[in-house]
Structure 1
Amino acid sequence: MSFVHSGGREERATNHTTFVVDQLGRAIVAGEYPEGTMIPLDPDLCEMFGVSRTVVREAKKTLIAKGVIQSKAKVGTHVRKSDDWNMFDEDVLMWHAAQKNPVKFYEELFEIRMIFEPAAAAKAATMANSVDSARLSQLCDDMEHATDRASFAVADYEFHKQILKLSRNRFLHSLGDMVQTALYSLFMTEANDAFPQSKVEVAVKHRKIALAIACGEAANARDAMTAVISESFARTQPRCE
């Protein structure tokens, strides 16, 4: 028996499962399989994706765990109502962000961010030390001096993730993936030619948050974070010609 070969088969199976999960998930979120409708039978999915039944079964288990589909004996597998989907799941978030016109997604994401991020900033202002504040300031520098959109997006995400961490609240810290997806969505929708002009302005607004946290000013940190999220949401909205 060759453990190398066995591992290779296992790795390929995992990759195939991930692919099927991603393709079905995207299709469901896009409405190709509306709520309450049945997804194709296992043999059809095997043929559709060129994979084994084992891969299809594992993919369905994953989608069931994400709350996207439900399987019943002698009935089949159908798409659950979108209200039942796990919107805190990173994949589900990314599938929504990848849609061509995810207006409702942006609105709901904006609402939930406005609930927890300003509160996290206020809490961070009561907990942060000089080292923490220096890290936030450095991330603002990274945003301002970013040479491309990818490095800017990373600095932006790390800044928000750091504030969630500084809240010393494990529940808030765990919401980092949601913030990452929100910022990634914004990154993907903004026009490329807006990057050089907007990065300095965005960095300045983030510095207001960092300064308030460094000074222990909870109310100002909350207000500054609210302003940043509002600006971020505004940039996702269609512009009038």
Structure 2
Amino acid sequence: MTVVSPDARRARASNHTSSVVEQLGRAIVAGEYPAETMIPLDPDLCEMFDVSRTVIREAKKTLSGKGLIQSKAKVGTHVRPPDDWNMFDEDVLRWHSALRSPGRFYDELLEIRLIFEPAAAASAARHANAGDCARLFSLCDLMETSDNRADFAVADYEFHKQVLRLSGNRFLGSLGDMVQTALYALFLVEGEQNFLAIRAEVAQSHREIARAICGGLPGPAGAAMERVIRDGHARTTGTAG
């Protein structure tokens, strides 16, 4: 007889729960279960995903915490309107970025990034020291010399994360996951393009942000960040001139 340890059982249940959350979450965000419609009953979900009722309950609890669904006794579980979803949740952001036509999502992401990232860059210009500046410029160098899209994307994300951290505001610093998801979305869309063609241009535009921050120029730093965000959005939506 094979004996399975309690820890192994818990790990397996956790993996199953994560899988159900991932598949149901993606389906809801993609509109397969429209707002106010009911998702399948627990027995049906158990059969659909070949998991226990305990796994389904935990998955529904997780999705409820993200604002996607709401359960009512003797009624069932319905999908909540998109306006009720937690758009700061990393999974919800990621599921949106994976949509085939996430037009509204990109526009809303542009709007919220324009609210906080230029402000973070301006604040960073008041706080950055020599070591901080060296890090920013080294990330620009990495963007310019990356020979693959993965390294380029990591350097891009780390640059924006560094600017948020340098703002000195913990709330702004905590928004790094949102920026990471935004840049991941760009990474996916630009996968069909030759990143080498835009590598130097993108690195240069980030270098302008670094120069303004390290020159102690809040206004120009914020303006340079806004240009980078708008240019990225234009490439993503195919509106770049």
**TM-score class normalised by the smaller sequence:** over 0.9
Aligned residue number for residue 105 of structure 2: 105
Task: Tell me, in whole angstroms, the C-alpha distance in 1 between the residues paired with 2:77 and 2:221.
Answer: 47
Question: Cα RMSD between the aligned structures?
Answer: 1.4
Deviation digits for residues 118-171 of structure 1 (CA, Å, limit 9, x no counterpart): 000000000010000100000000100001000000000000000000011111
Q: How far 1:238 moved relative to its partner?
A: 3.0
| Aligned counterpart, 2:123 | 123
Unaligned residue ranges in structure 1 (runs of 5+): none
Secondary structure of the corresponding residue to residue 127 of structure 2? coil
> How far, CA to CA, are the matches of 2:185 and 2:102 in structure 1?
10
Deviation at 1:193, TM superposition (A): 3.9
Aligned to 1:82: 82
3-state SS of 2:5 partner? helix
Q: Could you state the TM-score of these two structures normalised by the residue count of structure 1?
A: 0.97
The list of structure 1 runs, each at least 4 consecutive aligned residues, that deviate by more than 2 angstroms after superposition, is: 191-194
Q: Distance in 2 between matches of 1:137 and 1:168?
A: 19
Deviations 1:98-137 (A, max 9, x none): 0001000000000000000000000000001000010000
* Distance of 1:158 and 1:19 partners within structure 2: 29
Partner of 1:41: 41
Q: Shift in Å at residue 198 of structure 1?
A: 0.3
Where does residue 21 of structure 2 map in the other structure?
21
Instruction: Give the share of equivalent positions with the same residue, in percent.
Output: 65
The one-letter code sitting in structure 2 at the alignment partner of 1:176 is: G
TM-score (norm 2): 0.97
> Aligned equivalents of 1:208 and 1:193: distance in 2?
24
Q: 1:52 to 1:144 in 2, by over 3 A?
A: same
Distance in 1, Cα, partners of 2:62 & 2:34? 19
Give how far 1:73 is off: 0.8
In structure 1, the partner of 2:60 is 60
1:210 equivalenced with 2:200 (yes/no):
no
Cα offset, 1:6, TM superposition: 1.1
In structure 2, distance between residues paired with 1:48 and 1:11: 21
